[in-house]
Structure 1
Amino acid sequence: MPELAETLIVIDMQKALQYSYDFTGLVHKINHRIAAYRQANLPIIFIQHNDQDIVRGSDLWQLSGKLDKQKEDVVVEKFHPNAFYQTNLNKVLMQQGSRTIELCGAQTEYCCNASIVMAHGLGYKILMEHDMTTTFDNDYMIAENTISFFEHIWDQRFVTFQ
């Protein structure tokens, strides 16, 4: 069983992204991590994006109904790819005393990457498992290649993979 961080952060696992690469499989893997954090009585934070395309309160804005989100879990809303930018995420983590975080979610090259780079810059130790983010195919790469490409960039620079 991979090591647990002090807090699990689930980024943008919203209905708007349900057609991204292996979204259902990722929800299952995230729920497995959530179960481990719940068993260890460690906090889970859900990040929820909103902008002109994913409008707050709309159906696409809702977190996937298949995620094991409980009422005691913290939700941080954001409007920028970086989950720390003009949100209370850093304050919440500091109040919890968390210096080690585990990240997972969507979209690999946007919100996950921006949040990972910022968290690293703020001094957090970031743990991840491989293949715990998702994205869409783009004009340059299929989703699997985008995920591998970013994991290679993150590995030992920003993230400790386990």
Structure 2
Amino acid sequence: MPELADALVIIDMQRALQYSYNFDGLIHSINDRIFSYRQDNLPIIFIQHNDQDLVRGSELWNLSGKLDKQKEDIVVEKTHANAFYQTNLNKILMQKGIRSIEVCGAQTEYCCNTTIIMAHGLGYKIFMEHDMTTTFDNDYMTAEDTISFFENIWNQRFVTFQ
């Protein structure tokens, strides 16, 4: 069983991304992690993106209904790839005495990467399991290759994989 961080941070698992690589499989894996964090009464933080293309309140803006989100979970809205930028995420983590986070979600090369690097810069210890992010194929790589590429960059530089 992988070690638990002080909090689980789930990035942008919104309906707009439902056609990304292995989205439903990732939700299943995230729900397994949520279960573990709930058992230890640790915070679960959902990050929700909002911008001109993903408008607050729209159907695609909503978090996937398949996620085990409960009313006591924390939701942080963001308007930038970096979940710390102009949000209260760092303040929440500091108030709760959180020094380590487990990150998962979407999109690997954008919001996950940017948030991971910023969290590292702020001094947080970051844990992940392999294949706990998702993205789309692009002009250069498949989604699977993109995930593998970024996991290789993150490994032991920014993230401790379990």
Q: Would you call these one fold, judging by a TM-score over 0.5?
A: yes
TM-score, L = length of structure 2: 1.00
Instruction: Report the alpha carbon displacement of residue 155 of structure 1 after superposing the two structures with TM.
Output: 0.2
**In structure 2, what is the equivalent of residue 109 of structure 1?**
109
**In structure 1, what is the equivalent of residue 97 of structure 2?**
97
Matched, 1:152 2:152: yes
Matched residues in 2 for 1:67 and 1:16: separation?
Answer: 14
Matched residues in 2 for 1:42 and 1:154: separation?
Answer: 24
Identity of aligned residues (%): 80
**In structure 1, what is the equivalent of residue 133 of structure 2?**
133
AA aligned to 1:55 is V
Instruction: Report the alpha carbon displacement of residue 122 of structure 1 after superposing the two structures with TM.
Output: 0.0
What's the CA shift string for 1:1-52, capped at 9, x where partnerless? 0000000000000000000000000000000000000000000000000111
Instruction: Report the alpha carbon displacement of residue 149 of structure 1 after superposing the two structures with TM.
Output: 0.1
AA aligned to 1:99 is R
Q: Which runs of 5+ in 2 are unaligned?
A: none
Matched residues in 2 for 1:92 and 1:52: separation?
Answer: 26
**In structure 2, what is the equivalent of residue 29 of structure 1?**
29
Matched residues in 1 for 2:73 and 2:60: separation?
Answer: 20
Matched residues in 1 for 2:124 and 2:149: separation?
Answer: 22
What's the CA shift string for 1:59-98, capped at 9, x where partnerless? 0000000000000000000000000000000000001100
AA aligned to 2:52 is Q
Matched residues in 1 for 2:159 and 2:145: separation?
Answer: 18
Instruction: Report the alpha carbon displacement of residue 137 of structure 1 after superposing the two structures with TM.
Output: 0.2
The within-5 A match list for 1:69-84 is: 69-84=69-84
**In structure 2, what is the equivalent of residue 13 of structure 1?**
13
Matched residues in 1 for 2:100 and 2:48: separation?
Answer: 21
Secondary structure of 2:71 counterpart: coil
AA aligned to 2:96 is Q
- Name the Cα RMSD after superposition: 0.3
